[in-house]
Structure 1
Amino acid sequence: MPMLLLFALATPSYAADFWPVGDRPAVVRPWSPPATPYGPGHRGVDLSAPIGAPVRALADGRVSFAGELAGRGVLAVELADTGDPPLRTTYEPVTATVDQGDEVRAGDLVGVLQLPTGHCPRTTPSCLHWGLLRGTTYLDPLSLLSPSARTRPPARLLPIWPFTNS
């Protein structure tokens, strides 16, 4: 009889219990990795958020870039203790409140959401594009969230008071 081994997938130590913007924002455009390095796809997720919303670091790390690229503010943070090459999160469009080389802690304010640049879906007035890379390989940034942060609690029906029996 074959032996069945079960392995529990451990949540990484850097898994965040919060989102980079808002509290459980809507994912208005999901991650869709390209089949080839230059192929079509979406190399991050877009999170619905109002202009001026605070953007937070998802984990401890060092700011590897804070500036403007292609007319929009971009921020990149190399995450501490995530291997070689390290994981790197990107946030755009943001006005950075940190500088290149700064050390940040999980939850620190690192920027504020700028005016949209046409990247967001038309149904969403503004959004944060959040990316994750290891070297030049794009990964799903939602994998940085703890399981409890990724799932919404179930809807709960509450009684209507006062209860009347007619």
Structure 2
Amino acid sequence: MRRGTTERIRPGDTLGGALVRLGVEGNTAQAMVAAFGEVFNVRHIRPGDAIRLVLEKTDDGEVPVLLEYRRGPVEEIVVRREGEAWKASLREFDVQVEKVLVSGVLESSLSEAVVAAGERADLAYALADVLAWDVDFYVDPRRGDEFQILVEKRTYQGRLIGYGDILAAEYRGQATGVRRVFLYPNPKTGRPEYYAQDGTSAQRSFLKSPLKFSRISSGFGGRFHPILKYYKAHRGVDYAAPTGTPVWAIGDGVVTRAGWGGACGNMVRLRHANGLETVYCHFSRIAPGIRVGKRVAQKEVIGYVGSTGRSTGPHLHFEVIKHGSHVNPLTLKLPPAEPLPQSELPAFQEAIAEFVEALDGRVYASANDDTEVVGP
């Protein structure tokens, strides 16, 4: 006869400690944890997570025979007794993946427009990430701007689990014009990248904005109003944003300064290729691991908006320096990355033909209204 019992991980707890609380003998708990660790890092178990222990009644009392840990909505780790040993396996549930076209019109903010279209706000953040080289979602959006997103949706039993790749996207903005991008493998690296319809790369050496569009800032007041200005007097741009908004490196570079900068407060300075440098000021805190000499990648978070130093409120002061002279970040023009070679264009056009038709409204219905949206 078997019975199951459930225990939640407590703050500061370990998997072994939770098993012992359930009555598992120390050596057995250790063996179960060791087997568990072969398929999942036990350090990634979080407080509040539940484990289920199955016990079997024997002449010597109840002994553990099975441990289950639900890792997210579609995966489960199972540790079962096989003779005197313990074996772990990862069980994945049947997840449905479908391509859907999500479209909307901005009335207040991008994230609210995506939610109004029946999707989760994290799809808005993914779109902003895809278009980060062309659209500054802190400055460019206007009421009436339109977007389309062809995306893979992952569902389980009618519940939205998450989003896969954005296969194609379009943003029609009053300040940006029309921006269309399509996902396609880079023929040199094999990594998926975004390209315009003519095969030119959608990516550039520098991003349009140093602020990562995130949950923290997506509902920021002052939407559709100027939130930044270029100040010649102090040679940079001020982005008003909530404390804690992530700030990322707008291009690959090396940290040349990280720490207290007087009036600049907590700050980071980066050196990039081709004589370019960028400066980021007034952080509430600098991201862990950011120190002088460290190489950072484009889109790597280097700090968080704050109001340290000489500051009247939370904002990011941002500067771009070219060959020793300050330039206006808002008018800085940089060439795109390498386009697809001419020999690759026929294959590219064939691959994206379906996506072009979707954006042109010739295929795909809108997102399934019957999907239950869950999670953040």
Q: TM-score range by the shorter chain?
A: 0.5 to 0.7
Identity among equivalent pairs (%):
25
Alignment match of 2:239 (pick from 39, 47, 57): 47
1:13-43 per-residue CA deviation (whole Å, 9 max, x = no partner) reads: 4132x5211439865342243xxxxxxx130
Alignment match of 1:130 (pick from 309, 315, 318): 318
The equivalent of 1:60 in structure 2 is 252
1:34-67 per-residue CA deviation (whole Å, 9 max, x = no partner) reads: xxxxxxx130000111111111000001011001
CA RMSD of aligned residues (A): 3.0
| Secondary structure of 1:130's aligned partner | strand
Alignment match of 1:20 (pick from 182, 193, 210): 210
AA in 1 matched with 2:271: E
| Secondary structure of 1:30's aligned partner | strand
The yes-or-no answer on 1:109 pairing with 2:109 is no
Identify the structure with bigger relative contact order (alpha carbons < 8 Å, sequence gap 6+): 1
Pick closer, same or farther for the CA change 1:133–1:146 going to 2, 3 Å. closer
The yes-or-no answer on 1:79 pairing with 2:272 is yes
Alignment match of 1:31 (pick from 194, 218, 230): 230
Give the Å deviation of 1:112. 1.1
The equivalent of 1:159 in structure 2 is none
The equivalent of 2:291 in structure 1 is 99
Q: Is the 8 A contact 2:206 2:298 kept in 1?
A: no
Q: Is the 8 A contact 2:276 2:323 kept in 1?
A: yes
- Tell which deviates more after alignment, 65-74 or 43-52: 65-74
1:141-161 per-residue CA deviation (whole Å, 9 max, x = no partner) reads: 2245779xxxxxxxxxxxxxx
1:99 & 1:54 partners in 2: Cα distance?
A: 17
Task: Kindly report structure 1 stretches of 4+ aligned residues shifted beyond 6 Å.
Answer: none
AA in 2 matched with 1:140: N
Q: TM-score, normalising length from structure 1? A: 0.61
1:76 & 1:133 partners in 2: Cα distance?
A: 10
2:253 & 2:236 partners in 1: Cα distance?
A: 19
2:293 & 2:321 partners in 1: Cα distance?
A: 18
1:22 & 1:45 partners in 2: Cα distance?
A: 16
In structure 2, stretches of 5+ residues that fail to align are: 1-201, 336-376
Q: TM-score, normalising length from structure 2? A: 0.29
Q: Is the 8 A contact 2:211 2:246 kept in 1?
A: yes
Pick closer, same or farther for the CA change 1:111–1:145 going to 2, 3 Å. farther
| Secondary structure of 1:142's aligned partner | helix
Give the Å deviation of 1:138. 0.8
Pick closer, same or farther for the CA change 1:20–1:27 going to 2, 3 Å. farther
In structure 1, stretches of 5+ residues that fail to align are: 1-10, 34-40, 148-166
Pick closer, same or farther for the CA change 1:117–1:28 going to 2, 3 Å. farther
Pick closer, same or farther for the CA change 1:60–1:22 going to 2, 3 Å. closer
**Which is helix-richer, 1 or 2?**
2
1:119 & 1:65 partners in 2: Cα distance?
A: 20
Question: Which has the higher Rg, Structure 1 or Structure 2?
Answer: 2
1:86-130 per-residue CA deviation (whole Å, 9 max, x = no partner) reads: 21100011222211111011100111122354435xxxx421000
Pick closer, same or farther for the CA change 1:78–1:27 going to 2, 3 Å. farther
